């Protein structure tokens, strides 16, 4: 019996979709838009036992399996090649428990992030992981990519909010360590090894996430600044005076295309969204204005105002207006980020005159995003663009991915950020945990 027939016999036709049943259910691509192929079959297990059964069958048949969450990834990590089987976690969803004493939530991997956030809030807690794709991305995908997002400056990435993990290895073995404790030094940290491994080491099935008290006195402002030196001065002042929960920088090109003129009639060289907790925003902004760090500032008077500011930042370039976008998410030493932007913009303009580049990022945690509009996205031009962005980031001491991960799109550039020895260690770990190489082959390494 082949792998698909054995899967159907073991799990049933509701769980194993093939042929015409894939239409409208299976996806060709994650949000990077780079996937082309439908999977050979789509598995939709509803229990951890079914994930385990599916993987043990695939392992015996040496059948490649691609774990899929909400498909909002931007690195091509959840895309299938012809002949791959997709394993969707969508049916393994729901918040199992909120433990108010431990300050922890037990959640299944297929739960949409926003659903988990809402459940935490209803119980009087904050689930601090937050990103623009919150309405579609899943907790398992967030863990597999070690997602960053909007509140890293205050609460850290997913890893810093992950207390316990359950995952299924390539051969079907369930590794369950659903710890609710802050301190746990019991041997190798498998939880943090699997977090960020992009579905190449194990399939995440459940997690224990850390909850925080709901923040009080959240205030939001959008500031206009004339120089990057002023951006750095504002960040230094904010770190001294307020409890920062977001510090999001938009260069003029991005701010304008995302509707910044709705906030400032004259587009400033830099716009920064500052979000604080604890009610100290206005005196802080007064100082920033008095010291000439900020040239103008709007303080949100309501949630709707704050939403309007965030809409520009999350703004999402209207897809109809800018359909052909290449994305970059880099980490750079904060002091050098604007030097990088200037050099990168100039090199792109010289090499690819039809391209338009837009820069923004979670600069408070050293993360720069670039969106480049490149009509038609011709392969040779995309490669030229990658070389410009990644050579420059290597030369300035940064890394090729801050939060979206490596997937397929950055695989050839991983060596710009990791040494030969590190890559060999990663390959050894992969071979030890997935000796048949069935989990998300061709991704990351
Ligand atoms: C509008 C928008 C805004 C975004 N903003 C941010 C941001 O601020 N910060 C950020 O970090 N990312 C951001 N992203 C990228 C993306 O949302 C994150 O990478 C997210 O964590 C992916 O989750 P997902 O469930 O959609 O995963 P998918 O796209 O389905 O998969 C991503 C990777 O994880 C693997 N995977 C998925 N589920 C599992 C599982 N259960 N077990 C093992 N492996 C699994 C896949 O194989 C793949 O390699 C954004 C994306 C969009 C579209």
Domain holding 256: CATH number? 3.30.70.2190
Does 137 contact ligand 1 (Cβ within 6 A)?
yes
- Is 174 within a domain? yes
Q: For residue 262, what are the domain limits?
A: 219-314
pLDDT at 150: 83
- Is 202 within a domain? yes
What is the count of structural domains for the chain?
Answer: 3
Does 403 contact ligand 1 (Cβ within 6 A)?
yes
Q: Does 343 lie in the same domain as 310?
A: no
Does 172 contact ligand 1 (Cβ within 6 A)?
no
Q: Does 203 lie in the same domain as 249?
A: no
- Is 172 within a domain? yes
pLDDT at 355: 95
pLDDT at 315: 72
Residues 6+ apart with CB under 8 A from 124: 100, 214
Does 67 contact ligand 1 (Cβ within 6 A)?
yes
Q: Does 310 lie in the same domain as 388?
A: no
Return the CATH number at 336.
Answer: 3.30.70.2740
Find the 205 Cα to ligand 1 centroid distance in Å.
15
Find the 183 Cα to ligand 1 centroid distance in Å.
27
User: Looking at ligand 1, which residue's alpha carbon is closest to its atom 23?
Assistant: 141
Taking the CA of residue 89 as reference, the ligand 1 atom at the shortest distance is 41
How far lies 346's CA from each of 127, 283, 331, 343, 399, in Å?
A: 40, 38, 19, 5, 20
Q: Does 301 lie in the same domain as 393?
A: no
pLDDT at 316: 59
Q: Does 199 lie in the same domain as 130?
A: yes
- Is 18 within a domain? no
Return the CATH number at 139.
Answer: 3.30.465.10
- Is 129 within a domain? yes
pTM (two decimals): 0.95
From 90, 128, 131, mutation site for ligand 1 pocket: most ligand atoms within 8 A of C-beta: 131
Chosen domain end from 290, 314, 338: 314
Find the 288 Cα to ligand 1 centroid distance in Å.
36
Taking the CA of residue 69 as reference, the ligand 1 atom at the shortest distance is 30
Q: Does 206 lie in the same domain as 112?
A: yes
Q: Tens of pLDDT along 138-155?
A: 999 999 999 998 889 999
Q: Does 206 lie in the same domain as 99?
A: yes
Q: Does 332 lie in the same domain as 274?
A: no
From 78, 87, 153, 155, mutation site for ligand 1 pocket: most ligand atoms within 8 A of C-beta: 78
- Is 144 within a domain? yes
> Which strands sit side by side in the sheet containing 367-373, from one edge to the other?
296-299, 219-225, 270-277, 243-251, 356-361, 367-373, 325-331
Residue 256, phi then psi, degrees to nearest 5: -70, -45
**pLDDT beneath 70: ranges in the chain:** 316-322
pLDDT at 260: 94
Find the 76 Cα to ligand 1 centroid distance in Å.
10
Q: Does 337 lie in the same domain as 229?
A: no
Q: Does 268 lie in the same domain as 357?
A: no
- Report CA 378 to chain centroid distance, whole Å: 25
Find the 155 Cα to ligand 1 centroid distance in Å.
19
Q: Does 270 lie in the same domain as 178?
A: no
| Residue whose entry in the numeric block shows the structure tokens 């979206």 | 404
Return the half-sphere exposure (C-beta side, CA atoms, 13 A cut-off) of residue 153.
24
Strands 104-108 vs 85-88: parallel, antiparallel or unpaired: unpaired
| Residue whose entry in the numeric block shows the structure tokens 């991997």 | 109
Chosen domain end from 278, 295, 314: 314
Residues 6+ apart with CB under 8 A from 310: 220, 273
Does 116 contact ligand 1 (Cβ within 6 A)?
no
Q: Tens of pLDDT along 224-245?
A: 999 999 999 999 999 999 999 9
Chosen domain end from 213, 238, 269: 213
pLDDT at 325: 87
- Is 300 within a domain? yes
- Is 443 within a domain? no
Q: Does 203 lie in the same domain as 116?
A: yes
């Amino acid at each position: 019996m082949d792998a698909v027939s054995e899967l159907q016999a073991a799990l049933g036709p509701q769980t194993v979709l093939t042929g015409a049943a894939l239409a409208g259910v299976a996806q060709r691509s994650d949000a990077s838009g780079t996937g082309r192929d439908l999977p050979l079959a789509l598995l939709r297990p509803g229990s951890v036992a079914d994930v385990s059964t599916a993987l043990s069958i695939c392992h015996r048949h040496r059948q490649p399996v691609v774990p899929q969450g909400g498909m909002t990834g931007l690195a091509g990590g959840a895309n299938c090649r012809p002949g791959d089987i997709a394993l969707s976690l969508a049916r393994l969803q729901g918040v199992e428990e909120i433990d108010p004493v431990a300050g922890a939530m037990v959640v299944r991997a297929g739960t949409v992030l926003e659903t988990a956030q809402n459940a935490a809030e209803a119980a009087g807690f904050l689930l601090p992981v937050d990103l623009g794709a919150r309405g579609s991305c899943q907790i398992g995908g967030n863990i597999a990519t070690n997602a960053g997002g909007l509140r890293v400056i205050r609460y850290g990435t997913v890893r810093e909010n992950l207390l316990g993990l359950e995952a299924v290895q390539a051969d079907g073995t369930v590794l369950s360590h659903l710890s609710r404790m802050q301190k746990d030094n019991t041997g190798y940290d498998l939880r943090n090894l699997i977090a960020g491994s992009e579905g190449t080491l194990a399939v995440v099935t459940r997690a224990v996430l850390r909850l925080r008290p709901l923040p009080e006195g959240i205030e939001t402002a959008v500031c206009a600044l004339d120089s990057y030196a002023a951006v750095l001065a504002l960040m230094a002042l904010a770190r001294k005076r307020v409890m920062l929960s977001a510090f999001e920088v938009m260069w003029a090109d991005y701010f304008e295309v995302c509707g910044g003129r709705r906030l400032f009639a004259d587009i400033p060289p830099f716009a920064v969204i500052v979000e604080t907790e604890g009610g100290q925003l206005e005196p802080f902004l007064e100082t920033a204005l008095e010291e000439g760090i900020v040239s103008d500032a709007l303080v949100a008077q309501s949630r709707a105002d704050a939403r309007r500011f965030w809409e520009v930042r999350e703004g999402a370039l209207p897809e109809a207006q800018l359909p052909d976008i290449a994305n970059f998410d880099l980490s750079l030493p904060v002091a050098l980020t604007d030097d990088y932007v200037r050099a990168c913009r100039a090199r792109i303009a010289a090499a690819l005159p039809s391209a338009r580049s837009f820069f923004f990022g979670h600069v408070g945690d050293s993360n720069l995003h670039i969106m480049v509009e490149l009509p038609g996205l011709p392969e040779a031009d995309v490669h030229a663009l990658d070389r410009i962005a990644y050579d420059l980031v290597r030369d300035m001491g940064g890394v090729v991915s801050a939060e979206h991960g490596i997937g397929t799109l950055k695989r050839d550039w991983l060596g710009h950020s990791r040494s030969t020895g590190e890559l060999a260690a990663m390959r050894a770990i992969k071979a030890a945990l997935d000796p048949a190489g069935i989990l998300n082959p061709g991704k990351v390494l």
